[in-house]
Structure 1
Amino acid sequence: MIALPQAYAAFVNLGDNCEFGFAQRAHGIEEGSLLRWAVTPAEALLKALRNKFEGLYAFDNLSPSSPDMVRDSATGLCFHTQMFSGMTNYGLEFKGSDAERQHIYKSEIDKISYMKQKLINQLESASKIFIMKSNSGINEMIIKYIVETLIEFNERNILVVVSSCGRDCLGVEAVSRNFYQATISRFAPYEKADSIDLEAWNYIVGEMVNRSDVRAERFIDTL
């Protein structure tokens, strides 16, 4: 059996929010990744993957999506930021001057660029298990296209899509050698993403890395 901290370290979150990131944090996994704390709608993820995140986080493409998050119009992805915004008569607007935001942006784009390349390297080397969810479910065709896109990066890539069934229904099923469907009784509400069912996430992660068809040794440095 593979210990849970090692198991969680084998995964990279692709969305659609930070719930899985909190499950990793519960086991001491703090390794940064591009989408761990982002808001990542499945359709936006597919577009970004197909374009290899080209043009991600360009200054002129960023607009407030919440007081501490920005939306990148080129990809539809949302990221936490220090370029804070507040509500005005015209909706959410950035606080501070353009020069102040440019100063903050310079440090953020360096981090985003590093994390983007790190994710692309992981996709090209198939060195992680990729996992995603959506509280409202993900269209089957979108999942199909995402799996196909991951295979274009590397034919050994594995995607786990987690869905909620609203009852006691924990399980992991292989749909193909590149795609696994997992079920969970509930997701955390979006407004409280850290209110996770950790026991359920532990089951899914443990089940995946201990499956004989996954061959987890290629994802985990020390077994």
Structure 2
Amino acid sequence: MKRTSIVCGVVFLLCLLALPSIGYIGGRVCMPLWVPPFLPAQVVPLGIGFVAGVFLLGAVVRSLIARRDRRWTLGVLAVVIAATGAFRLAAPHSPGYLHGLRDRFVSKVGYARMRQFAEEVSRHHPLVDSEGILIRPDRLKAGSPEQIEQWNDLVSRYPFLNWNFATGTVIAREGLVELTWGSPLVGHWGFQVATTGEVTDLDPDRAWFLRVAEDIQFVNYFD
């Protein structure tokens, strides 16, 4: 029972540490991590941690009934409960998906280039339509060679447009430029840059956001 409780406690703590790590790694690659059949990778440590917790509780019950190793089993249980509480309190501030996404942009792009991109597409760029959406000429049946050249020029200067197989959507409206990837099934993630003023906080019931400057924030929509 002593050995079982220690092993289960260690496994449980490792699973707790794995949760923010998985999110951060996903942000660094600019795509949430998944496992078959199309489930968030976090289900793996959550499942293993749940099983470890059940076995730990079983070891505690057996030790209480047998009156053996009670200090060890109850001590490990107390550590697990305390660690879980600390994790829940620290979760909003711990490195996660948006922190990984931020670090990817900092290392590969930089805030100055993000601002430059936002300024360019918000000033009546020829590829921005009347609704403020940056169009992809290669997705249009009637895309002209001039439009394709304009797109290639943008990509050469802002290579993040080609990340995730160039599936991002750019919208420039009312002084705010937003680039997001994703779908309604897995959610959307990306960044916002305010070309005039500051970015505004998002509804916490709709999205997470990480503000890194008055005019820049990274976003992760739930839908």
Same fold (TM over 0.5): no
Higher helix share goes to which structure?
2
Higher strand share goes to which structure?
1
Q: Report the structure number with the largest CA radius of gyration.
A: 2
